[in-house]
Amino acid sequence: MSLPENATAGNSPGDSPARRPPVDRGDLDMRIARDGSWHYRGSPINRMPLVKLFASVLRREADGSYWLVTPAERGRIAVEDAPFLAVALTAEAEGREQRLIFRTNLDEIVTAGAEHPLTVATTAAGEPAPYILVRDALAAKLTRAVFYELVERGVVEGSGAERAFGVWSMGVFFRLGEQEADWACPLRRHRQRRQRGTRLWDARLDDATAGDRALCAPGVARTARLWRHRRSGGGGGDSPGDPRRSRSQPGMDAA
């Protein structure tokens, strides 16, 4: 029986402690893709309980290879990037007392700290590749959305040559990179745009009400009016005085 079909073999509590080394099955034709999905002989493994079972016996050797290891058997598998993904982030407290809690795609909960450090590598294309150690040399790669959320919580510590940009968790400061890094620029612009969002909409609304269609297209003007209406506590529909409420739409005339 192959290891993928016998992942629980030899785990009964009555087994003798003196046992032979597990049988080496070599390559198992199993792969963990970059998106965190597991595949066996070219087909995806869609049963989450089975994936979690395999993950529970996953080991990483000193040479970087990955193995599924049970008391009876062991076999090598391929991992395209990291075996897990960090798909959600929850932050508790603030400052140096902050706790950054990650959830993986297999529902493992990990809090960044001395035992579960955050690291950021750099790809050949200059993009950040952030990871958190889950257990036993097995890491989870942060999804782009989670990394963006993490950067939003970043602070600058130190001064001069010791100046660093990063986050605090469980009393440990984890460096995320240089504030001037190329990848940080769009993140900062994203945060600034979000903070300026209300002001931008108000400016477009003022342009629209002034009749300057060259600066504010009709579609944007209507969206801005709805935005202002909702912020003032109104509903999501057009204002009662909007003349377009009575305008017939193509293909929508009453029968």
Residues carrying CATH 2.30.270.10, the chain: 84-182
- The side-by-side arrangement of strands in the sheet containing 164-169 is 155-157, 164-169, 172-177
Cβ-based neighbour number of residue 101 at 10 Å: 15
At position 156, the amino acid (one-letter code) is V
- As a whole number, mean pLDDT of residues 83-111 equals 97
Residues carrying CATH 3.10.540.10, the chain: 21-79
At residue 209, the pLDDT reads 43
Kindly tell me if the per-residue pLDDT of 95 is higher than 90: yes
- As a whole number, mean pLDDT of residues 2-8 equals 57
Query: What element of type H or E holds 23?
Result: strand 23-32
At residue 116, the pLDDT reads 98
CA 142 from centroid of its chain's CA atoms: 4
Closest to 177 in 3D by CA, of 101, 139, 131, 121:
121
Superfamily of domain 84-182: duf1285 protein (2.30.270.10)
At 128-187, the pLDDT tens digits run 999 999 999 999 999 999 999 999 999 999 887 788 999 999 999 999 976 555 455 545
pTM score, whole prediction: 0.67
- As a whole number, mean pLDDT of residues 189-194 equals 53
The string of DSSP codes covering 131-199 is EEEEETTEEEEEPHHHHHHHHHT-EEES-GGG-EEEEEETTEEEEEE-TTSTTHHHHHHHHHHHHHHHH
Task: Provide φ and ψ at 28, rounded to 5°.
Answer: -95, 0
At residue 253, the pLDDT reads 45
At position 109, the amino acid (one-letter code) is I
At 215-226, the pLDDT tens digits run 334 444 444 455
Sign of CA dihedral 72, 6, 83, 132: negative
At residue 79, the pLDDT reads 98
At residue 7, the pLDDT reads 59
Query: Could you confirm whether domain 21-79 is CATH 3.30.70.960?
Result: no
- As a whole number, mean pLDDT of residues 216-241 equals 48
Closest to 204 in 3D by CA, of 192, 190, 219, 220:
220
Between residues 253 and 121, the one the model is more confident about: 121
Angle at alpha carbon of residue 122, lines to 118 and 124, rounded to 5°: 155
At residue 255, the pLDDT reads 41
d(CA 183, CA 252): 47
